[in-house]
Structure 1
Amino acid sequence: MLAKLARIINFSLAMTCCIGGTSSLAQNTNGKTAKPNIVVILVDQWRGQAQGYMQKEKVFTPNVDALAKEGVALKQMVSNYPVCSPARAMFFSGTYPFKNKVHANANSKSAPYGVELPTNIVCWSDVLKQQGYSNGYIGKWHLDAPHKPYIPVANNTEELAWNEWTPFDRRHGFDYWYAYNTYDYHSRPMYWDTKAPRDSFHFVDEWGPIHETDKAIDFLDNKGNVRNPDAPFAMVVSFNPPHSPYNTAPAKYHEPYNNIPLDSLLTDADIPPVGTPMGEQYRKEVKNYYSSITGVDAQIGRIVNALEERKMFDNTIIVFVADHGNCLGKHDEESKNNIYEESLRIPFIICWKGKIKPSMDNTFLGSLPDVYPTLLDLAGLKSKISQTIDGKSYANYFLKGNGDQPAEQFIMGAMAYDTLQMGQSGFRGIRTAQYKLAYQKTKKKTEAFLFDIQADPFEQHNLYSKDNLQVKLMRPKLAAWLKEHDDHFTLD
């Protein structure tokens, strides 16, 4: 049982603290097997290094730290395409962008090229629905393309529109819907209810994560009869913060950082110098970013507490994951969609009391498409996993603590909207626990990078040469992966 005190933001203490599985189903008390509930907590732009238990940054995350002790925490998890829509499409569909069609962020500029999650693609939530689950989605979705006339909200203009209603037939098995596509006004978020038509959204005068946690607890309580009380449930709570703007978290979540000297947060070698645009951004926003993380962490604690208080915790698989990370100015990168570790590395914790053996895992090379088959396998639905997905189930590894592991991760990003150009745009790469090899197209030329991310964690020294042994070992694997996925990106 997670200690409830660990989920209460204790600001007087903050200053000292902050420096497959088809046979594994849970049992009801009557002896009959019961499918586990599933709760996914999906956050936006939270880099994997910014978790207290990682001991890399001075960020206060007591609830995430407590959850990590109850499950498997993957320290090497990456977002294979570190930007919102592509990452989410991989997570839900178990496929890379070459199959799921989401090769860029869904907005009005990418809409003419069909960048949105196809209606007919089968997500893990669709499979759960087919198998009798009652599903709920709360928060940011960002997998539908805006269309005219654009929804009259602040982030939709004739020049660039982001937000859109999700039609009933595009919700991929989620019966209860309290969501939006993307809207970054965290202090006054907007939502569509389950039955609301396109023109009937509403605003809420409360910080988004707090309000969404209230709705998540209502879902657990089945307030308003929003789910079948006799069926297992799957609930996704998708928080937008710590996505920018970073300064919107309530004041109480800023308090742990008020007396921390700024200089003590500026020791990493990849932070640009003072006086540079990205160096100034990092210095301006790092405490705000941490405050948003701490505020979201508090809501994670509320959700886990609610599961425990309702005696749902023991038979619930909990997944905590981000869509991508955030450079915040490091490497002269404003946020994400680049080759660096702060952009790629994301939190990932999977917890199922009594089934998944707790572990701080620094070797498993997790990828987003693998979550789909792993979740279904854990839920006893291995036979329902589509043979056309790209991901692979690692349920046995999580249940037993040993077994097959991925040998590498493949990364990509910054692709052109135009599908005819996407194969020769952006970056592609391969990553192991020690090395990362990446190729990036810029101005019709290709730049190559090799980093020893163990010896050089801030990626200050590009070791690339065609004669380098690691390049000779890794490049053929990347080339084979590109061919397998019909990606026309060239490595020269």
Structure 2
Amino acid sequence: MKLKRLVIFSIALLGLLSCTSQSVKKSENKERPNLLFIFADQYRRASLGFLNEDPVNTPNIDKLAETGVFFSRAVSNHPLCSPYRAMLMSGKYPLSSGVVENCNSANTAYGNFLKKEEICFSDVLVQNGYSAGYVGKWHLDGPPPTAPGEKKVWDSWCPPEDRHGFSFWYSYGTHNRHNNPYYWDTDGGIEDTIFVRQWSPEHEAEVIMKYLDNPEKQREKDKPFALFWSINPPHTPFNQVPERYREKYEGMDYRDVLNRPNVEFTDNHTWKKGDSGVDARLNQAPDYFACVDGVDDQIGRVIEHLKESGLYENTIIVFTADHGEMLGSQGLMHKNVWFREAMDIPLIVHYPKSISAKTDDLMLSVPDYMPTMLGLMGLGDEVPEGVEGKDYSNVFFEKPVERPTKQLYFGTKPMNIDTGARGFRSDDYTFAVVKDDKGEKFYYLFNDKEDPYQMKNLWGENPEFDKKLETELADLLRSMNDPW
């Protein structure tokens, strides 16, 4: 009888301990912060309104910066859509992730896509009790290969087993249909495309607000959420933007809005010239800034909904971008170059519950985002072994960190990775080398402190200093096993 009572007591005790353990685990989950990670495509740092550089109106993003941490020297190490996304998700530089160029069918045969076996940012969060969701542009899958000369396929449906733990999915591979986008949702197959007649940031904001309300159990209610929102505008085509955002710029042309002294209005180096000799796309510069204003408006709607839902105080909000936009600076359009307009990106981390507002000039690189955010979220010990980025989360709490002195610049093609461009940003300088298919090198060196618009190439003026920079670049690339 005593033995029987002892067994019953032991079972009851084990049950109590089990319940207590589950209760503690749920409690820990509830105490952990939610994460809303927003990145807009082709949004350059100069288009943050509070910097008073581009003529934009971004009150909601400005407020995030005012009450959060603004990293004033964040860069996109490879200013191109897919390589940035792979760095963000994997915490690795392009050579290590294998995503060295944009994902499309011409690059798939070279392994240029996010691998299924990669342990990603989202995988780590899900393994540690988060409910993860993804909304917007993905652009990390490899469509079936096409032969040279065949038309490239850019978009592709992402099967659930390749979504790296995201249990809520409202996404597409890549397209630029801002006014009439399409998506695939969590349960939809490749044939179940959802077509929408609404500006994509506006529609996605409504999808996210519904996700927060959770009427259809889009997320597990007893878990913290981690939601990634990839907004396509202000990516081209710039003129696909609602009229209400264009009104501010009515009657203006590109000369009225492009105020940077390094903009070349004639003899533009890329794309098709108009009759005036000016890149025809410069005419859409006012629309680019209208897109920026509209993106801010939609982010503001989501932030307000977080407040109304009681989720705001315990949600880390990150705003950043995959790369910038040249908009005629240096006579160039778009991205994938080492100049500041393409490489400099916004990075704001907002969590007033735990971190104080400030501006920090930490030289963050994209692979640092995953380990740094995991550190901020109390998961610093869960950073995957292969991650090449560093955890700088102590910077949020005024604790010492070993501050980086360089930020890599990288650009190449998957079929010939030992050509292309390499370089780095240091405290004072931007240094880049372009190597063509014949092995000939072209050098670029700018003193960013004395020449912030990078208008004078200093290469060749000080051979001793030039040699020092070449040696430093070689050491950096050697540490990354770069065959360049």
How far apart, CA to CA, are the structure 1 residues paired with 2:329 and 2:292?
Answer: 18
Give the secondary-structure state (helix, strand or coil) at the position aligned to 1:426: strand
Percent of aligned pairs sharing the same letter: 37
Whether the 8 Å contact between 1:190 and 1:201 is mirrored in structure 2 is: yes
Q: CA offset at residue 75 of structure 1?
A: 1.8
Name 2:376's counterpart in structure 1. 378
Farther-moved stretch of structure 1 (244-253 vs 277-286):
277-286
Give the secondary-structure state (helix, strand or coil) at the position aligned to 1:85: helix
1:435 corresponds to 2:429: yes
Matched to 1:233, the amino acid is F
Q: CA offset at residue 388 of structure 1?
A: 1.6
- Looking at CA atoms only, which structure, 1 or 2, has the larger radius of gyration? 2
How far apart, CA to CA, are the structure 2 residues paired with 1:443 and 1:131?
Answer: 46
Q: CA offset at residue 443 of structure 1?
A: 4.8
Name 1:341's counterpart in structure 2. 340
Name 1:169's counterpart in structure 2. 161
1:388-421: CA deviations, max 9, x gaps?
Answer: 21100110102327543221111111x1231xx2
How far apart, CA to CA, are the structure 1 residues paired with 2:278 and 2:264?
Answer: 4
How far apart, CA to CA, are the structure 1 residues paired with 2:299 and 2:250?
Answer: 23
Q: CA offset at residue 387 of structure 1?
A: 2.4
Of 420, 445, 448 in structure 2, the residue corresponding to residue 450 of structure 1 is 445
Of 77, 82, 88 in structure 2, the residue corresponding to residue 80 of structure 1 is 77
Give the secondary-structure state (helix, strand or coil) at the position aligned to 2:279: helix
Unaligned runs of 5+ in 2: 1-23
| CA distance 1:198–1:435, change in 2 (3 Å) | same
Unaligned runs of 5+ in 1: 1-26, 150-156
Give the secondary-structure state (helix, strand or coil) at the position aligned to 1:86: helix
Name 2:8's counterpart in structure 1. none
Of 94, 109, 112 in structure 2, the residue corresponding to residue 112 of structure 1 is 109
Whether the 8 Å contact between 1:109 and 1:417 is mirrored in structure 2 is: no
Whether the 8 Å contact between 1:125 and 1:172 is mirrored in structure 2 is: yes
| CA distance 1:267–1:328, change in 2 (3 Å) | closer
Name 1:10's counterpart in structure 2. none
Whether the 8 Å contact between 2:29 and 2:223 is mirrored in structure 1 is: no
1:411-442: CA deviations, max 9, x gaps?
Answer: 111x1231xx212x211111023211111113
Give the secondary-structure state (helix, strand or coil) at the position aligned to 1:422: strand
Name 1:411's counterpart in structure 2. 409
Q: CA offset at residue 270 of structure 1?
A: 1.9
RMSD: 2.2
Name 1:254's counterpart in structure 2. 246
How far apart, CA to CA, are the structure 1 residues paired with 2:226 and 2:120?
Answer: 13
How far apart, CA to CA, are the structure 2 residues paired with 1:32 and 1:422?
Answer: 43
Give the secondary-structure state (helix, strand or coil) at the position aligned to 1:254: helix
Matched to 1:350, the amino acid is V
1:187-231: CA deviations, max 9, x gaps?
Answer: 110100101111211210001000000001111111311111010
How far apart, CA to CA, are the structure 1 residues paired with 2:290 and 2:29?
Answer: 45
Of 387, 397, 400 in structure 2, the residue corresponding to residue 399 of structure 1 is 397
Residues 315-326 of structure 1: pairs in structure 2 closer than 5 A: 315-326=314-325
Farther-moved stretch of structure 1 (438-447 vs 188-197):
438-447
Of 387, 390, 396 in structure 1, the residue corresponding to residue 388 of structure 2 is 390
Name 1:310's counterpart in structure 2. 309
How far apart, CA to CA, are the structure 1 residues paired with 2:177 and 2:210?
Answer: 23
Number of matched residues?
A: 450
Name 2:171's counterpart in structure 1. 179
Of 112, 129, 133 in structure 1, the residue corresponding to residue 130 of structure 2 is 133
Whether the 8 Å contact between 1:281 and 1:328 is mirrored in structure 2 is: no
How far apart, CA to CA, are the structure 1 residues paired with 2:303 and 2:103?
Answer: 31
How far apart, CA to CA, are the structure 1 residues paired with 2:444 and 2:42?
Answer: 24
How far apart, CA to CA, are the structure 2 residues paired with 1:126 and 1:32?
Answer: 16
Residues 145-156 of structure 1: pairs in structure 2 closer than 5 A: 145-147=142-144
Of 35, 40, 43 in structure 1, the residue corresponding to residue 40 of structure 2 is 43
Name 1:351's counterpart in structure 2. 350
Give the secondary-structure state (helix, strand or coil) at the position aligned to 1:135: strand
Q: CA offset at residue 275 of structure 1?
A: 6.7
How far apart, CA to CA, are the structure 1 residues paired with 2:471 and 2:398?
Answer: 32
Q: CA offset at residue 473 of structure 1?
A: 4.2
| CA distance 1:480–1:259, change in 2 (3 Å) | same
1:273-298: CA deviations, max 9, x gaps?
Answer: 34753843454011010011111111
Q: CA offset at residue 31 of structure 1?
A: 10
1:209 corresponds to 2:201: yes
Q: TM-score, normalised by structure 2?
A: 0.89
Matched to 1:329, the amino acid is G
Q: TM-score, normalised by structure 1?
A: 0.87
Give the secondary-structure state (helix, strand or coil) at the position aligned to 2:430: strand
Whether the 8 Å contact between 1:282 and 1:330 is mirrored in structure 2 is: no
Whether the 8 Å contact between 2:172 and 2:184 is mirrored in structure 1 is: yes
Name 1:16's counterpart in structure 2. none
1:30-50: CA deviations, max 9, x gaps?
Answer: 999711100001110011111
Farther-moved stretch of structure 1 (77-86 vs 385-394):
385-394
Q: CA offset at residue 357 of structure 1?
A: 1.5
